[in-house]
Amino acid sequence: MKRIIFPIFFFCSALLLGQNLKLDTNSIKIGEQITLSISSEFEYGEDFVWPTFNDTITTGVEIIERTKIDSIENKNYLSLSQNFIITAWDSGSYYIAPIAFNKNKKTEGAILNVQTINLDENAEIKDIKPPMKALYGWSDIWPFLLSILLIILIYFLLKKYVF
């Protein structure tokens, strides 16, 4: 019975809330990128303000990339959503504050935990690797050969018809 009631309750509460702030995961390593999704439903004629972020969601959490705002229209509702790829460059816990769309609708807040990279203090220091040599292929060489042949052709044409 619990298996039936819980999904129905969860689905109905999601429909009633209508606004969502979701992280792919709440724990990342420094510099790792995750997706932050924001979505909300509005009745036609309802006033709302969609959030605009410059380069950070909150202090310490940077926006790497953002998608365009996606809209879906139903009979009585307009559903909007947007995804952000975010990262953080310092370890710690960051609170992403609730996003208010109007006085009645706002998302819940979220916490993003950023962990440092584990380093072994007893590990030996290693030298920097030298640059790798790039392999040359036909696609790298043919423009030079074509330009040399073109210069030789122009030289012979000038020698024959001009000089």
98-128 pLDDT tens trace:
988 888 888 899 999 999 988 888 888 888 9
What band does 138 get if pLDDT is binned at 50, 70 and 90? confident
Q: Cα 34 to the chain's mean position, in Å?
A: 7
Give the pLDDT confidence score for residue 68 in this predicted structure.
93
Full-model pTM: 0.61
Q: Are 64 and 86 in contact (CB under 8 A)?
A: yes
What band does 8 get if pLDDT is binned at 50, 70 and 90? very low
Neighbours of 28 (CB within 10 A): 18
DSSP state of 106: B
Q: Are 37 and 110 in contact (CB under 8 A)?
A: no
Phi, psi of 111 (to 5 degrees): -115, 130
What band does 64 get if pLDDT is binned at 50, 70 and 90? very high
Give the pLDDT confidence score for residue 3 in this predicted structure.
52
